[in-house]
Amino acid sequence: MEIALFEPEIPPNTGNIIRLTVCTGTSLHIVGKPSFSLEDSMLRRAGLDYWSLSRMQTHESLEDFVGYIGQRDSQSPEEVKGRFLLLSRFAQRAHSEHQFLGNEILLFGRESTGLPDSIRSLFEKAQWLRIPVHKSCRSLNLANSVSIVLYEGLRQLGFPGLETEYSADN
């Protein structure tokens, strides 16, 4: 699985997601222009010493990102787009109802506004997922949301490549 953040706005969230992706062996993609510098001290502080281990890449636009994945994985733009799962409060289906395959690209929107209509409209509604929350809540923190969905997918796949048992050597 891969994580993609569309125009993230809060450096500590992105820093926490960097740490999460390193600890899960997951790639991170920043799509569009973040509202902060990737050199931000709060971003690096949240990422701790994991920053240098990150497999984070930036892409100017969603189109560029799809092209990059297509070239890397020898897939057509349609095949790449079929791998996307969009996390949105407008989705009807819970993230836990999706049967993860391991090749998904999890796309999360801005902290303040989520994914814009212009992005959501490019994908089938069957690719939209939501995290259940109480009716009085609009959304969860971005870093928490990424963690919830990523770990559900990894759980379904048996936590590939992750240590699931305690070892005194660690």
The model's pLDDT over 103-145, given as tens digits with 9 standing for 90+, comes to: 999 999 999 999 999 999 999 999 999 999 999 988 899 999 9
Nearest residue to 93 via CA among 146, 148, 139, 130? 130
Strand, helix or coil for residue 105: strand
Range in 26-30, 43-47, 114-118, 143-147 with the lowest mean pLDDT: 43-47
Strand partners, 108: 5
Tokens of 69: 């994945």
Q: What are 153-167's pLDDT values in tens digits?
A: 999 999 999 988 887
Nearest of 151, 147, 156, 145 to residue 100 by alpha carbon? 156
**From 53-62, 76-85, 96-105, 107-116, the region with the lowest mean pLDDT:** 53-62
Q: Report residue 117 as tokens.
A: 């209509």
Q: How far apart are CA 65 and CA 77, in angstroms?
A: 10
pTM attached to this predicted model: 0.91
Domains within the chain, CATH numbers bracketed: 2-156 (3.40.1280.10)
